[in-house]
Chains A and B, each alone.
Chain A
């Protein structure tokens, strides 16, 4: 199946190359042959050549130009702004060493992300994105949506995309400061199929949507899918290149599918291991899921701070007790080489860092995060991670990341009984990532 994709890519690139570089040389070659064979005279040849060139020039000037750009991937844009097509992707290669405490975590390597991504504009007002991740051996759709932009800055999106919740979640994995998102990110709703609206003013953004479930997430053939509504507001009185302040709040309400179950679990902030210390197992009799998130971030030159708090309430019926979980994190980052984290105000998230020097950029960061999955009858465990990060940006598209993580789990953080609780390993992990 993957071969099929590569054949498509080759076909696609060949077509783009032909579009970009093809020239109308055939008629001239034919004229040369006719002249050399003595079929036409030199005089006739000159006249025909002039006519052919004039026609070619006329044809050329009546076309809208096409621009081909490559920064690793390939992008084609028409000069009337009505069409574009981009083929890109990302590859993250990870390795982790676990200084184990009580449980074996499994040192090793992992292809954390291996995504191919297409996006484009169709007739100016429409754009789309379609992205597939091959990292775990299957082909999983991540983003797959169509967006209508005619009422810009208001945009309407239909398809599978991230629900508007959490600064860290909405910041692409290409641009997050640490190798993995913080522990409470487990509560963020992630991508689902739905319809959303997003708009912004000069200092605020608003986004909301109604969502079903993921494209392959039909829990029961006969049962109804779960659905939810999610909204997010952000406020940013300052969003300059080197100074920014971001405040945000989000809420999500979800009705479960017919199974009425929900499960929260999280690895330590390392993905090579499969051990998810904190794990609630399936919580039954859920009749609603409510989440609230608060977020704040500030950038001041090379320094930045970011933090979030997420609260989750599971409403239950059939006499089962409601349960509440929460988690939060805070981190600071410092670019030793003077760059600033790139705050994208309209999106309410962070974007690509461009090193000031051709020698690259260096960033130091540290984070504290915690998630608490213990409440009432549920003893999913509590985990705390302290992470020290070092990032080296070779250029805007290639980054080396090193993380050292101190893990502190409580006695209930036992992967739902599969491992021993109170396990406090240390983790060293590295990533080389490229996106194009």
Chain B
């Protein structure tokens, strides 16, 4: 066979393989919906421990969650747990539905979603998670040093950049703080719009770097996100930070919460709690903890944490009634 003939046959093979893969891949995904119906029944089986999370990126989160649920299940064999699954939800409502149906046993979430899942699905708050190595975080309000803004009341007639309606530290918390301060919020379509003199305008910037850029360039008067974003150069470049001041901080909130569904076998629930509380002492848990959003450890909620969660309930109420 000549070289050019070999290349041609190679090309034909490549194209055929590619075509088969394209159609095959699509069919597999189309079939997934049908397969998933059968699987949902399987998830109800007692021998499968199912972990869940609300996310917009299920592919990425699968790699975070699977090692941890596998690690936990390894220590539950005597309780009949022989298999693990991950089932993620696109929003709170979907996760509520999964928890009510018993499709998800264990959820890791932000305090705000945790409270919603507790209120609407009867989920039980189990532990506090040191996500990304920290137990708590708080919201900071910041502005340019030359803006003349030194307090929340200075925002009247001005605009603040927030992230998006799904964000805890860059929407729910700052919005509720402003509302509790007696300020009236009004959503603006773009930073170019101006609020009325007696109101505070807010815009959704979608990303932390956009919030800080809006503030740096003077498109808006202030921004809000969490204290970890403040120290992250990707979200607030050093060149921006040196010209900014923090003019208000929220109280700290637990970084993340572990929950279990209502009605989960008490033996499994108790064992899960023990496993998680001891994980940071177990060298075999190191990889799973790292994958699990760089968790340093889990701990029982303190009185202070419970007070913070009560405040979260209040915040949710005020944000819902005022803005939604």
A residues neighboring B (CB under 8 Å): 1-2, 4-5, 8-9, 11-12, 15-16, 18-19, 59, 61-67, 76-85, 87, 116, 118, 120-122, 124, 130, 132, 138-141, 144, 152-153, 202, 215-216, 218, 221, 241-242, 301, 338, 340, 356-358
Contact = CB atoms under 8 A, between A and B. Distances in A.
Contacts, number: 161
Contact of A153 (B15, B22, B232, B287): B287
Contacts of B39: 64, 80
Given A83-B29, A124-B62, A218-B6, A1 B15 contact: yes
B238 interface: yes
Contacts of A242: 233-234
Nearest to B85: A80
Contact of A79 (B6, B90, B232): B90
A78 B238 CA distance: 38
Q: In the complex, which range does the number of interface residues on chain B fall in?
A: 35 or more
Contacts of A139: 11-12, 14-15, 18
Contacts of A340: 233
A302 to B, nearest CB: 9
Interface string B83-118: 001111110001001000100000000000000000
B94 A65 contact: yes
9 contacts: A12-B22, A59-B37, A62-B37, A78-B36, A80-B62, A85-B29, A124-B62, A301-B233, A356-B209
Contacts of A81: 58-59, 61-63, 65-66, 86, 88
Contact of A8 (B11, B19, B57): B19
Name the residue in B26, B88, B291 with the highest tally of chain A Cβ atoms < 10 Å from its Cβ. Answer: B26
Contacts of B23: 8, 11-12
B1 A356 contact: no
Given A4-B19, A12-B26, A65-B94, A356 B213 contact: yes
A299 to B, nearest CB: 11
Interface in B1-41: 1, 6-8, 10-15, 17-19, 21-23, 25-30, 32-33, 36-37, 39-40
A356 B30 CA distance: 37
A63 B15 CA distance: 34
Given A5-B19, A8-B18, A81-B86, A64 B11 contact: no
Contacts of A356: 209, 213, 237
Contacts of B56: 67
Nearest to B34: A63
A87 B18 CA distance: 11
A86 to B, nearest CB: 9
Nearest to B27: A15
A4 B14 contact: no
Contacts of A221: 1
A242 B231 CA distance: 12
A79 B88 contact: yes
B59 A77 contact: yes
Those 7 A-B pairs whose CB atoms lie nearest each other, nearest first:
A81-B62, A216-B10, A64-B36, A139-B11, A8-B22, A15-B26, A242-B233
> Which residue among A62, A63, A80, A357 has the maximum number of chain B CB atoms within 10 Å of its CB?
A80
B197 interface: no
A80 to B, nearest CB: 5
B100 to A, nearest CB: 9
A85 B25 contact: yes
Contact of A152 (B21, B58, B63): B63
Contacts of B36: 62-64, 78, 80
Interface in B36-77: 36-37, 39-40, 56-59, 61-63, 65-67
Given A62-B40, A221-B1, A85 B87 contact: no
Candidate in A1, A122, A140 with the most chain B CB atoms within 10 angstroms: A1
A222 to B, nearest CB: 12
Nearest to B94: A65
A16 B29 contact: yes
B236 to A, nearest CB: 10
B39, B86, B233: residue with the most chain A Cβ atoms closer than 10 Å: B233
Contacts of A120: 25
Contact of B232 (A59, A84, A241, A357): A241
Contacts of A66: 29, 32-33
Given A16-B29, A85-B26, A338-B239, A5 B18 contact: yes
Contacts of A80: 36, 39, 58, 62, 85-88
Nearest to A119: B25
Given A130-B18, A144-B17, A11 B32 contact: no
A4 B293 CA distance: 43
A235 B58 CA distance: 30
B318 to A, nearest CB: 30
Contacts of B8: 138
Contacts of A78: 29, 32, 36, 58
Contacts of B86: 80-82, 124
B29 A64 contact: no
A152 B58 CA distance: 17
Contact of A241 (B57, B90, B233): B233
Contact of A138 (B1, B11, B57, B94): B11
Contacts of A11: 22-23, 26
A153 B290 CA distance: 11
Nearest to B233: A242
Nearest to B98: A61
A357 B29 contact: no
A12 B18 CA distance: 12
A64 B87 contact: yes
A140 B7 CA distance: 8
B135 to A, nearest CB: 22
A19 B36 CA distance: 13
Given A64-B40, A130-B18, A132-B14, A85 B28 contact: yes
Given A19-B29, A139-B14, 16 more contacts: A1-B11, A12-B26, A62-B40, A63-B37, A80-B88, A81-B65, A81-B66, A124-B62, A139-B18, A215-B13, A216-B7, A241-B232, A241-B233, A242-B234, A357-B213, A358-B210
Contacts of B27: 15
Given A11-B26, A138-B11, A216-B6, A61 B101 contact: yes
Nearest to A7: B19
A165 B63 CA distance: 26
Contacts of B11: 1, 138-140
A164 B318 CA distance: 55
